[in-house]
Structure 1
Amino acid sequence: MTLTRNFKETVITRIERDEEFRDALFREGIDCLLSGDVDTGKAVLRDYINATIGFENLSEATNTPPKSLMRMFSQKGNPQAKNLFAVISHLQTQSGVHLEVRAVKYGT
């Protein structure tokens, strides 16, 4: 069966119209980063950024060139913690989603 629509286009359309999905995608990207799956986390956040604020607006908000941001979230990108946390901080503000990290022992 041939797909009639590009997967990324479908995800972007859903992000634009479904706030719950959009917020869940943002959380999933961060969860992936925190669990060590950096490549997936960057890919999810890249799609999230493209569908929401865009790299140009994010560039202005974080004082980071748009090409640098795009490189950070590319497959081969290796973002510095300072830049990554600046992006996450702004995305939280922009989305209204406040993320918290809490310690939980495994097996409990």
Structure 2
Amino acid sequence: MKNYAYVVLSNPVPGRDQEYNDWYSNRHLADVVAVPGFVSAQRFRLVDPEAEDAPHQRYMAIYRMQTDDPSAIVAELQTLVETGQMEMSDAFSQSDMAIHLYEEITPVVEV
């Protein structure tokens, strides 16, 4: 099986940061990792959102996947969201997100 990173860049709806972060960290990460093929999840916050070349999304989630068919896993995730089987918070700005799928090309290098 190959390793992939499913990267989601997002923002909360204005004024709803606390609700967004609570839902994302305490509910959504675990919901996604429960989908077969996802193996881990972690969130990050942009350090300098005022930097000239900064993306407009302030938050990033990286979901690690192990699979031979990443498209099938992404399709399953989309189905769960679209059918309401996976709860999405209305504090999550869906119109302001970007999603990218990356294939691992090197092993992890650690110290």
TM-score by length of 1: 0.29
> Which structure's residues are more often helix, by fraction?
1
Higher RCO (CA 8 Å, separation ≥ 6 residues): 2
